[in-house]
Amino acid sequence: MAFAAVRTTSRAITREADMPGTFWDSLSESSRTILLTSGVQRVWPRGYHLTSQDRVHIEHVYVILEGRARAYTTTPDGEETTLDVLHQGEVAGELEVIDPNHRLASVAVVSRRARVLQIPAERFHEIVLSHPDVALELLRSMAQRLRRANEMRAATRTEGRVMRALQQHARSGARTSDGVIIHITQDDLAKFAQASRKTVQRVMAKLRRQGVVDTDRKRIVLRRWHRRDDGS
């Protein structure tokens, strides 16, 4: 069940959605305030769809303030292809607002819950047209997402796709002296890497032997990872 969160200041939300280089983090405080006052905060559980590929029109744009979501498409025979992993501070549904002819992808919450800022699509479009800094950061966010998608497509071998999926999740993982802690099951990792669960298990076993990862129930410690300067 979703509920509207207590309205808070843009400064407080910035601390919670502190992901350097993301759409939200790069905005000025005045622009964040405009977006906050134009929408409502809601909390959705794991599995809830913010957008659906089957929808003809999108009604809202979402800024993820806490949690993670997966953007994916589904073929007519039911095969899912992961397009991106969206973390706190990133935006979903913006492409359909800018280009109404753009084919919708599905975006589903994959963390235990996600707190999002839900903004009416028409209002978001007005803000983009009237606030150049919002438009610029939106373009940067879209460019980063395109770069990540290209890198995933370039990783033709399954091992490369698994590593790219781990790196994408590590962007919002917990940093410790042992590495970056990622909360994800191997079933979900298989979806992100577009591979079978058996293949992912084989790749993870190899990565464990190489000292790249440690695994536990629903948790992976990525020992070798460095954040890129562009935040992607």
Are residues 196 and 210 located together in one domain of the fold?
yes
At 148, list the tokens.
């990540």
Which CATH number goes with the domain that contains 143?
A: 2.60.120.10
∠222-226-227 over CA atoms, to 5°? 115
Are residues 139 and 192 located together in one domain of the fold?
no
**Residue with the larger pLDDT of the pair 12 and 87:** 87
At 97, list the tokens.
């607002």
Give the rounded percent of residues in the chain with a pLDDT score beyond 70: 82
Are residues 109 and 182 located together in one domain of the fold?
no
Whole-structure pTM over 0.85, yes or no?
no
Residue-wise pLDDT for 170-227, tens only, equals 877 788 888 888 888 778 888 777 778 888 888 888 888 888 888 877 788 888 654 4
Residue-wise pLDDT for 139-167, tens only, equals 988 888 777 767 656 555 777 778 878 88
Cβ–Cβ under 8 Å, residues 14 and 35: no
Q: What is the mean pLDDT of the chain?
A: 80
Report pLDDT for 215: 83
**Residue with the larger pLDDT of the pair 102 and 76:** 76
Report pLDDT for 82: 79
Q: Which amino acid is at 198?
A: K
Residue-wise pLDDT for 165-174, tens only, equals 888 778 777 8
Nearest to 84 by CA among 103, 68, 102: 68
Considering the domain boundaries, does residue 77 fall inside one? yes
pLDDT category at 89 given cuts 50, 70, 90 is very high
CA–CA separation, 116 and 7 (whole Å): 12
Tell me: pLDDT of 22 over 70: yes
CA–chain centroid gap for 229, Å, is 18
CA–CA separation, 200 and 191 (whole Å): 10
At 24, list the tokens.
């939200």
**Residue with the larger pLDDT of the pair 66 and 194:** 66
Report pLDDT for 152: 58
Are residues 136 and 185 located together in one domain of the fold?
no
Considering the domain boundaries, does residue 3 fall inside one? no
CA–chain centroid gap for 82, Å, is 11
CA–CA separation, 161 and 154 (whole Å): 9
Domain boundary among 123, 154, 185: 154
CA–CA separation, 196 and 224 (whole Å): 24
Report pLDDT for 62: 96
Instruction: Look up the domain containing 164 and give its range.
Output: 158-222
| Structural domain count, the chain | 2
